Structure 1
Amino acid sequence: MSSHADNSLLKDKRPSGSKKVWFTMLFVIIAIVGLTYVKWWPYYFKALKAAAEHTIGSSILTGDQAAAPAPSFQSAWDYAVDYFKSVWKAAVLGILLGSLVQVLLPAKWLLKALGKAGFKSTALGGIASLPAMMCTCCAAPIAVGLRKKNVSVGAALAFWLGNPVLNPATLIFMTFVLSWKFTLMRIGFGLILTFAVSYFAGRLAGQAPIPEQVQEAVDQPDEPSGSFLTLWLRSVGTLLLTIVPAYLITVLVLGAARAWMFPALGAHGMNTVLAIVIFAIAGTLFVIPTAAEIPIIGTFLSFGFGTGVAGALLITLPSISLPSLLMVYRSFPRRVVWFVTGSVIVLGLLCGAISAVIL
């Protein structure tokens, strides 16, 4: 009898049907307002600049030079400052939305749309990424939040990967600054990465044990009990503690090591197979703001690097990075994370090889 009473009391603490609707509407409003301020409105003016001037700024990697500065603490600090000036608003928005996904969106609704292992959930996750237009690190907290709600591996990955590689604004900038050929290459390989790689990664996950953080969400009732403020503070606090320290440290390390990761090459080696391999791996690990790959590629091309290197960076630079991999590492089976990392490198190599021939 007491057990039945406890269950009834628990149900009373869960959001009612009408409250779920209001919570969902609140999430949508916050997302629209945040994206308008951080992404959509600034990108409108950036698109006008790209159309008129055929540039969106200098390379964050090397500035106006052919090579990155020598490794040093100052180099690490300078890059970190420039990087976080570019992304801090989007990073805050990503953490905010990643925490609100866990407390505002009804679990059953999410599972119905994105919880299955089939291609439909993966496709919906990829489509949902298009309006967000975030870089890989800023989208990572939302992907983590989706996994904590037990969204399928394929859907969460498609959302995470689709944000940077199928970003509509980046595609517009790329067309004006580089060329429509680069844009078509990006779309083709971006579709493969977002939908095919995510789908097969979900199949690879199979019946793998659910990560600890996700298992906690599964073991809880349909909707966790407690006040909204308590649940949200717990959610955002967990994200901050598990994501931000590694994020800060790895950005500093990569900023210092960029001269080693993207070495200056002689004229004889700027479009060789070895150069494409080096830059594909470096691009996969390195971290950049949204659309920063465009001026980076433009700078490298202007200093004589071949289109093979440009093609490799076109896919690998925006897709993932060491910081973003560390952010999501505990929310996906390990073999999935390694599969995605390897897939990005392979697709970067293929894009580089094709670009060397046809661009």
Structure 2
Amino acid sequence: MSTAWPGRRRTPRGAAAFAVLALLLAAGLLLWSKWLPYAARVGELAGSHVWSGSSVLAGAGVDPGSAPSLAAGWAFTKVYALAVWKALVAGLVIAAAVQTLVPRRWLTSVLRRRSGTSSALVGGLLSTPSMMCTCCTAPVATALRRSGAPTAGVVAYWLGNPLLNPAVLVFLALVPPWQWAATRLVVGLLLVVGGSALVARLAGDRVPAPAVDEVARTHDGGPRRFLPVLARTSAFLVPEYLVVVFAVGTFAGWLFPLGESARSWGVLGVLVAVALGLLLVVPTAGEVPLAQGLATAGFGPAVVGALLVALPAVSLPSAVMVVGALGRRVVTWTMIVVAAGSLLGAALLALLV
């Protein structure tokens, strides 16, 4: 596939310059949206060891088991958007940079390894600095797939952002019992590396046709293509994202039915926690106050362990955002593997506590 602009061929020096530009742009955006805010948060928690602030559901006034409400959907969308807008902006801009500034052959040489496990390991390592929630990382995962990156590496990047977020691991170590952080780290590593490789094996590694067409139209386009790609990606993903988030908020009471009466559900409560974790969307570290609230209300460690994995890993909005690039088979198998990992998290935390 050509790496030329219309009427102009990119030189190796020019390609390197554009790649450095993309790296600097990503670093600046992450410094603004993630690194500095999280550094301040770590300092706060190191001094207090108490999580301040409520969950996104409480902030939107959603009660467990409450009936669907358009007002709740709007309130949830506003609370969630205010929590993630910086990271979403960063994700969209980085995605456009990946598609237009970084040579496709460079990306594929980094992520395409001899085995799916090796590709997943590289994808997981690349995910740790960006520290995004599952929805905000979806545009970047989409861009990587459209650039020809392998399934295992892309899925590992998508899952690794929320599951292996070093800031959230520090949050969990500073606030709840240490077993929470241990469960998240162990199961997160298994899912990001082993789970992503398993998804690639089960779903195959064929790039969907629309994604191949997108590569031909946008990749290696240089700065001249950056703004058009950013505008097109934003115009397509942001409205779709907000509509699905609004729908989740509207039915959030049903999607989160774990009120006090659910404490006696036993295994059923764990299964419900896994299911709602795959659907509900939370901002980065949004699982912490939800898990704390359930633990305080008397729910067992199995329910908490399931939510510590399922809530951040994937969500209905993020699945909708990536399905066009990854394909339905990859997204479906990813959610199945995450569900299995969530059950493992439930079992592990129950054993540790």
TM-score (norm 2): 0.92
Question: For residue 165 of structure 1, what is the aligned residue in structure 2?
Answer: 163
CA RMSD across the alignment:
2.4
Question: For residue 3 of structure 1, what is the aligned residue in structure 2?
Answer: none
**Which of 33, 44, 58 in structure 1 is aligned with 2:28?**
33
Question: For residue 73 of structure 1, what is the aligned residue in structure 2?
Answer: 70
For residues 47 and 325 of structure 1, the distance between their equivalents in structure 2, rounded to whole angstroms, comes to 30
Q: Retained in 2: the 8 A contact 1:271–1:306?
A: no
Structure 1 residues 4-60: Cα deviation after superposition (integer angstroms, max 9, x where no partner): xxx9x9796132111111101111111111111110111011111222222142122
For residues 170 and 346 of structure 2, the distance between their equivalents in structure 1, rounded to whole angstroms, comes to 21
Residues 179-188 or 197-206, more deviating:
197-206
Question: For residue 12 of structure 2, what is the aligned residue in structure 1?
Answer: 17
Q: Residues 263 and 108 of structure 1: is their aligned pair in 2 closer, same or farther, counting only changes over 3 Å?
A: same
For residues 327 and 18 of structure 2, the distance between their equivalents in structure 1, rounded to whole angstroms, comes to 30
Return the offset for 1:65: 8.8
What percent identity do the matched residue pairs reach?
34
Q: Residues 87 and 112 of structure 1: is their aligned pair in 2 closer, same or farther, counting only changes over 3 Å?
A: same
Return the offset for 1:269: 3.5
Question: For residue 199 of structure 1, what is the aligned residue in structure 2?
Answer: 197
Question: For residue 59 of structure 1, what is the aligned residue in structure 2?
Answer: 55
Return the offset for 1:123: 1.2
Indicate yes or no: 2:120 matched with 1:122. yes
Question: For residue 326 of structure 1, what is the aligned residue in structure 2?
Answer: 320
Residues 196-205 or 101-110, more deviating:
196-205
Query: Tell me, what secondary structure is at the counterpart of 2:129?
Result: coil
Return the offset for 1:234: 3.0
For residues 98 and 219 of structure 1, the distance between their equivalents in structure 2, rounded to whole angstroms, comes to 16
* Residue identity opposite 2:57 in structure 1: L
Q: Residues 65 and 211 of structure 1: is their aligned pair in 2 closer, same or farther, counting only changes over 3 Å?
A: closer
Indicate yes or no: 2:331 matched with 1:304. no
**Which of 286, 296, 309 in structure 2 is aligned with 1:292?**
286
For residues 188 and 161 of structure 1, the distance between their equivalents in structure 2, rounded to whole angstroms, comes to 14
Question: For residue 131 of structure 1, what is the aligned residue in structure 2?
Answer: 129
Question: For residue 4 of structure 1, what is the aligned residue in structure 2?
Answer: none
Indicate yes or no: 2:340 matched with 1:346. yes
Indicate yes or no: 2:105 matched with 1:108. yes
For residues 77 and 205 of structure 2, the distance between their equivalents in structure 1, rounded to whole angstroms, comes to 39
For residues 264 and 163 of structure 1, the distance between their equivalents in structure 2, rounded to whole angstroms, comes to 27
Return the offset for 1:212: 2.2
Return the offset for 1:281: 0.4
For residues 36 and 165 of structure 1, the distance between their equivalents in structure 2, rounded to whole angstroms, comes to 20
* Residue identity opposite 2:173 in structure 1: T
* Residue identity opposite 1:22 in structure 2: A
**Which of 92, 97, 110 in structure 2 is aligned with 1:95?**
92
Return the offset for 1:178: 1.0
Return the offset for 1:213: 3.1
Structure 1 residues 235-258: Cα deviation after superposition (integer angstroms, max 9, x where no partner): 223312331122101111111211
**Which of 36, 40, 45 in structure 2 is aligned with 1:45?**
40
Return the offset for 1:350: 2.3
For residues 345 and 128 of structure 1, the distance between their equivalents in structure 2, rounded to whole angstroms, comes to 23
* Residue identity opposite 1:182 in structure 2: W
Question: For residue 256 of structure 1, what is the aligned residue in structure 2?
Answer: 250
Return the offset for 1:149: 0.7
Q: Retained in 1: the 8 A contact 2:211–2:324?
A: no
Query: Tell me, what secondary structure is at the counterpart of 1:137?
Result: coil
For residues 228 and 19 of structure 2, the distance between their equivalents in structure 1, rounded to whole angstroms, comes to 19
Question: For residue 178 of structure 2, what is the aligned residue in structure 1?
Answer: 180
Q: Residues 306 and 65 of structure 1: is their aligned pair in 2 closer, same or farther, counting only changes over 3 Å?
A: farther
Q: Retained in 1: the 8 A contact 2:187–2:344?
A: no
Return the offset for 1:340: 0.6
Q: Residues 270 and 82 of structure 1: is their aligned pair in 2 closer, same or farther, counting only changes over 3 Å?
A: farther
Q: Retained in 2: the 8 A contact 1:69–1:75?
A: no
User: Radius of gyration: which is bigger?
Assistant: 1
* Residue identity opposite 2:322 in structure 1: V
Q: Retained in 2: the 8 A contact 1:186–1:314?
A: yes
Question: For residue 151 of structure 2, what is the aligned residue in structure 1?
Answer: 153
* Residue identity opposite 1:354 in structure 2: L
Q: Retained in 2: the 8 A contact 1:283–1:316?
A: yes
For residues 102 and 331 of structure 1, the distance between their equivalents in structure 2, rounded to whole angstroms, comes to 13
Q: Residues 61 and 100 of structure 1: is their aligned pair in 2 closer, same or farther, counting only changes over 3 Å?
A: same
TM-score (norm 1): 0.90
Q: Residues 353 and 16 of structure 1: is their aligned pair in 2 closer, same or farther, counting only changes over 3 Å?
A: same
Q: Residues 105 and 249 of structure 1: is their aligned pair in 2 closer, same or farther, counting only changes over 3 Å?
A: same
* Residue identity opposite 1:55 in structure 2: W
In the alignment, structure 1 segments of 5+ residues that lack a partner are: 1-6
* Residue identity opposite 2:279 in structure 1: L
